[in-house]
A and B are shown apart, each in its own frame.
Chain A
Amino acid sequence: MSVPFALLGLLEREPSHGYDLKRDYDSYFGRSKPLPFGQVYATLGRLSRDGKVSPGEIEPGDGPDRKRFAITEAGKQEFETWLREPVEPEPHLQTVLFEKVLLALMLGRSAEQYLDTQRAAHLRRMRELTELKRQDSLIDALLADHGLFHLEADLRWMDMTAARLPSLASMVAT
């Protein structure tokens, strides 16, 4: 998750104090990794320096949270552009799995068994996510779905790789 853009988006909804931003961020985006207060204020500081948000009047009272931030025109534009752009597709896990398969083949270990062990681990995680999804928070369900589809993609890749092990083995042997 990109914290500055998430905060911009929340501010586009309505001007907010840092505390409210943190609370909303945590409940929507930071469920497994809450945003530290320090990072909220540091990010707001940078956004404000770059003219993407404006801090508004300092409100009476004490405590650090006396500024209500609002998004600026420039901020809205930047947010809009970000929202329209696709994210770079990232083949993250695949590289490690690939390394293990190739090394197993090179070193005369059973790549098949490694793949089975990995499959079992993936399916175990998928079972946990499925159980999580069956409780009733829609937000948790959406996040679990994302995990599930990614794990499934890995598993499909493992199936393809398993089917190609003989060719891969002869390639590695030469």
Chain B
Amino acid sequence: MRDMAAPGDVHSADYLIEARDVVYDFGETPALRGANLSIREGEILAVMGPSGSGKSTLLHCLAAILVPKHGGIYLSGQRVDTLDENERSALRRDTFGFVFQFGQLVPELTAEENVALPLLLAGLRRDDALRRAREWFERLGIDGLERRRSGELSGGQAQRVALARGLVAHPKVLFADEPTGSLDSLTGELVMELVVTAARQDGTTVVLVTHEPRVAAYAGREVIVRDGLVNSLVHDALAP
């Protein structure tokens, strides 16, 4: 089957990110059961699949947030899941952007402060960070909400603030978990348009979890997670 690299036999420098034979469980609950996935630099990949199949867990393993129980995660051929917590956190800060599925904004901070966070963490001066953060609000159709506490935003507004935060530092890889989940169709389209434009301009690699085919259609390729395994949709033949 294509795109299912067997562990150990791939020139992993061909890929920006690889998951090899990744196993993860939450105590009794298996979430990933030997997942393989190879992602090329600059690619926009949609990860689809039923609820509870392991999509978010896979994303968190790829993004060095969770450490697999077995198998490995490779970034440009270098193993990253064996790095210590400090190194992984530096990697996340410097290389990755995130849009999480749930509860991701700091409710006490204003919307613009939330967006500026990755820049502040990278050491930018506060007013520079806030100025760059503000540029995103109009593009995402949420201008006027810059100073609102993020706890006082609607679901769809908060989601766009989160997307701005994910993109503001021009990460090498953007991980987005259902970034259009609480948006109406037109706003979802606006958001995807922005993701694709940003990705094509900066060469950002995007890993996008979505259950909406119209959102997945912005990606160049899709995989399906089923029962903790990654499947590509293209089978060799319609064999009995």
A152 → B minimal CB distance (Å) = 5
Q: In the bound complex, do residue A110 and residue B239 qualify as a contact, i.e. CB atoms below 8 Å apart?
A: yes
Complex Cα distance, B220 from A129, in Å, reads 13
Which A residues are in CB contact (< 8 Å) with B224? 116, 119
| Chain A, 114-135, CB within 8 A of any chain B CB | 114, 116-117, 119-120, 122-123, 126-127, 129-130, 134
Which B residues are in CB contact (< 8 Å) with A102? none
21 contacts between A and B (CB under 8 A): A113-B238, A116-B224, A116-B235, A117-B238, A119-B224, A122-B213, A123-B217, A123-B222, A126-B214, A126-B217, A127-B217, A127-B219, A129-B217, A130-B214, A130-B217, A130-B218, A148-B214, A148-B217, A152-B214, A155-B213, A159-B50
Q: In the bound complex, do residue A113 and residue B235 qualify as a contact, i.e. CB atoms below 8 Å apart?
A: yes
Which B residues are in CB contact (< 8 Å) with A156? 213
Q: Considering the complex, give the chain B residue whose CB is closest to the CB of A149.
A: B214
User: Total A-B pairs in contact (CB under 8 Å)?
Assistant: 54
| Chain A, 92-126, CB within 8 A of any chain B CB | 108-110, 113-114, 116-117, 119-120, 122-123, 126
A43 → B minimal CB distance (Å) = 35
Complex Cα distance, B213 from A114, in Å, reads 18
Q: In the bound complex, do residue A134 and residue B193 qualify as a contact, i.e. CB atoms below 8 Å apart?
A: yes
Q: In the bound complex, do residue B239 and residue A113 qualify as a contact, i.e. CB atoms below 8 Å apart?
A: yes
A164 → B minimal CB distance (Å) = 12
B196 → A minimal CB distance (Å) = 8
A151 proximal to B (CB < 8 A)? yes
Q: Is the interface of B mostly helix, strand, loop or mixed?
A: loop
| Chain B, 214-240, CB within 8 A of any chain A CB | 214, 216-220, 222, 224, 231, 233-235, 238-240
User: 3 tightest A-B contacts by CB?
Assistant: A126-B217, A120-B233, A130-B217
> Which residues of B are in contact with A by a Cβ distance under 8 Å?
50, 193, 196, 212-214, 216-220, 222, 224, 231, 233-235, 238-240
Complex Cα distance, B219 from A120, in Å, reads 13
Q: In the bound complex, do residue A109 and residue B214 qualify as a contact, i.e. CB atoms below 8 Å apart?
A: no
Q: In the bound complex, do residue B240 and residue A108 qualify as a contact, i.e. CB atoms below 8 Å apart?
A: yes
Which A residues are in CB contact (< 8 Å) with B50? 159, 163
Taking a contact as CB atoms closer than 8 A, the residue among B213, B234, B238, B239 that contacts A126 in the complex is B213
Q: In the bound complex, do residue B233 and residue A152 qualify as a contact, i.e. CB atoms below 8 Å apart?
A: no
Complex Cα distance, B220 from A126, in Å, reads 11
Q: Write the A5-46 contact mask toward B (1 if CB under 8 angstroms, else 0).
A: 000000000000000000000000000000000000000000
Q: In the bound complex, do residue B240 and residue A123 qualify as a contact, i.e. CB atoms below 8 Å apart?
A: no
Q: Considering the complex, give the chain B residue whose CB is closest to the CB of A126.
A: B217
Complex Cα distance, B219 from A73, in Å, reads 51
Max count, chain B CB within 10 A of own CB: residue among A109, A110, A130, A156: A130
Which B residues are in CB contact (< 8 Å) with A126? 213-214, 216-217
A130 → B minimal CB distance (Å) = 4
Which A residues are in CB contact (< 8 Å) with B240? 108-110
Given known contacts A129-B217, A130-B218, A152-B214, A110 and B234 CB-to-CB distance under 8 angstroms: no
Complex Cα distance, B231 from A126, in Å, reads 20
Which A residues are in CB contact (< 8 Å) with B217? 123, 126-127, 129-130, 148
Given known contacts A110-B240, A130-B218, A152 and B235 CB-to-CB distance under 8 angstroms: no
Taking a contact as CB atoms closer than 8 A, the residue among B196, B213, B231, B238 that contacts A123 in the complex is B213
Q: In the bound complex, do residue A114 and residue B238 qualify as a contact, i.e. CB atoms below 8 Å apart?
A: yes
- Please name 9 further chain A to chain B contacts, defined as beta carbons within 8 Å, in addition to the given A108-B240, A134-B193, A148-B217, sorted by A numbering: A110-B238, A116-B231, A117-B233, A117-B235, A117-B238, A123-B233, A127-B217, A134-B196, A155-B213
Complex Cα distance, B196 from A130, in Å, reads 11
Q: In the bound complex, do residue B234 and residue A152 qualify as a contact, i.e. CB atoms below 8 Å apart?
A: no
Taking a contact as CB atoms closer than 8 A, the residue among A120, A122, A129 that contacts B234 in the complex is A120
